[in-house]
Amino acid sequence: PLAYLQETLMGKYGEEAKLIYELQDQGGELLALRYDLTVPFARYLAMNKITNMKRYHIAKVYRRDNPATTRGRYREFYQCDFDIAGQFDPMIPAPECLKIVHEILSDLQLGDFLIKVNDRRILNGVFAVCGIPESKFITTCCTVDKLDKVPWEEVRSEMVGEKGLSPEAADHVGEYVQLHGEHCGVEPLALLFQEGLGMNVAGQAPEVPVRVGSVAGGGRYDGLVGMFDPKGRKVPCVGVSIGIERIFSILEQRMKASGEKVRTTETQVLVATPHKHLLAARLKLISELWGAGIKAEMLYKKDPKLLKQLQYCEDTGIPLAAIVGEQELTDGVVKLRDVATRKEVRM
């Protein structure tokens, strides 16, 4: 469902909970619009006692965020999620998720991209070494996540000023999070890279010319299903979510830069008439085309000029015009015109 009891969504997103769209009292219930497709999926698994499932889901989600339409950031937008739920050997489903992301981004020809992989246990280990109390791991993690968008100085300021970390602990974290390197030797990640490389998902990491932020994100959420199960039964899950509008933003910017025209209709043929009083002929022909499964259109005008109808084909990229005039009706034929070459055949 689109709307949930607030208690279902609250407490699942950390600091991001402030972006949940809350609906006030609806007949005695406090409701909220879904923030993502992951929590609803976990709830569905628990409610139906499903312990093994593999699925994808494309639907709208809602966030009370500051829109930035040029970067594909909206308050109402589509996500495409795919998840693998079930008890499997470690790190076997994860490379499949990476493979799907790699395949989608490659097939859409978005340009070069970088897939970042992390194990939360590494980050928790870094926080522990830096002297951050366990109770502040999640809030510190939320702040560190902002490093993709803002410089370290701003992140450090938030950690000390808002999160209450000591300057020494913040500086210690800074030493770690600004490190860069190749494949990590930590066992689970080493296994993931080994499996992932076997699926041919490595090696794409150059700069991205069009910047809109991340287009996908995901990970494990082994404890989420248990939060909805009356007996606390856990179902390990791993999945990835792709932001569809983010991808549209990249495609639009790339096409604008190249001057490429986007065809916004699948219409195969426009039914046109060159003379007045031929609306009935147009309606009859378009009905026959629709009945044959051909994607056809006509202008919703009683007596449109032929030039205007052909111009509409050019503007929208419709490749063919099926023309019926008085002579064609007399001869029992249709004149089919290739809009691009202007060649005509009678049939």
CATH code of residue 29? 3.30.930.10
Give the percent of the chain with pLDDT over 70.
90
Q: How confident is the model at residue 206 (pLDDT cuts 50, 70, 90)?
A: very low
36 is in an annotated binding site: yes
Mean pLDDT of 229-248: 93
Neighbours of 83 (CB within 10 A): 23
Tokens 């609803």 correspond to: 40
Boundary of a domain, candidates 258, 291, 320: 258
Give domain status of residue 232, yes or no: yes
CA–CA gap between residue 103 and residue 216 (Å, rounded): 13
Domain co-membership, 221 together with 290: no
Domain co-membership, 74 together with 218: yes
Residue 51 CB burial class (10 angstroms; 0-12, 13-18, ≥19): middle
Lowest mean pLDDT: which of 117-131, 229-243, 306-320?
117-131
38 is in an annotated binding site: yes
Give domain status of residue 241, yes or no: yes
Lowest mean pLDDT: which of 81-85, 219-223, 271-275?
219-223
Domain co-membership, 337 together with 239: no
Render pLDDT for 101-150 as a digit per residue (tens, 0 to 9): 999 999 988 888 888 888 888 888 888 988 888 888 888 888 888 887 78
Domain co-membership, 287 together with 162: no
145 is in an annotated binding site: no
140 is in an annotated binding site: no
Boundary of a domain, candidates 228, 258, 288: 258
Type of residue numbered 146: K
Render pLDDT for 256-267 as a digit per residue (tens, 0 to 9): 888 887 788 999
Domain co-membership, 316 together with 192: no
34 is in an annotated binding site: no
Residue 346 has pLDDT above 80, yes or no: yes
Which is higher by pLDDT, 268 or 172? 268
CA–CA gap between residue 332 and residue 347 (Å, rounded): 9
Domain co-membership, 304 together with 166: no
pLDDT at 112: 83
The two three-digit tokens of residue 237, written as one number: 């899950």
Domain that holds residue 337: 269-346
45 is in an annotated binding site: no
Give domain status of residue 201, yes or no: yes
Render pLDDT for 64-98 as a digit per residue (tens, 0 to 9): 988 887 777 899 999 999 999 999 988 889 889 99
Name the helix (H) or strand (E) containing 243. strand 237-243
Mean pLDDT of 5-34: 87
C-alpha torsion 13→14→18→22, nearest 10: 40
Give domain status of residue 44, yes or no: yes
CA angle 192–147–64, rounded 5-degree value? 100
Which is higher by pLDDT, 199 or 230? 230
Domain co-membership, 254 together with 275: no
Q: What is the 3-state secondary structure (H, E, C) of 202-241?
A: CCCCCCCCCCCCCCEEEEECCCHHHHHCCCCCCCCEEEEE
User: Which of 316, 314, 315 shows the shortest CA–CA distance to 339?
Assistant: 314
CATH number of the domain residue 288 falls in: 3.40.50.800
Q: How confident is the model at residue 204 (pLDDT cuts 50, 70, 90)?
A: very low
pLDDT at 58: 97
pLDDT at 200: 62
Give domain status of residue 52, yes or no: yes
Residue 24 has pLDDT above 90, yes or no: no
Query: Number of folded domains in the chain?
Result: 2
pLDDT at 109: 84
Give domain status of residue 264, yes or no: no
Domain co-membership, 229 together with 254: yes
pLDDT at 180: 66
Q: How confident is the model at residue 48 (pLDDT cuts 50, 70, 90)?
A: very high
Domain co-membership, 95 together with 243: yes
Domain co-membership, 101 together with 199: yes
Mean pLDDT of 224-248: 93
pTM, whole model, 2 decimals? 0.76
Give domain status of residue 13, yes or no: yes
Type of residue numbered 108: L
Domain co-membership, 61 together with 143: yes
Mean pLDDT of 188-199: 62
Boundary of a domain, candidates 203, 235, 258: 258
Domain co-membership, 215 together with 312: no
Q: Where are the alpha helices (DSSP H) in the chain?
A: 6-9, 38-47, 93-107, 120-129, 137-144, 152-161, 167-177, 187-198, 224-228, 244-258, 279-291, 306-316, 326-331
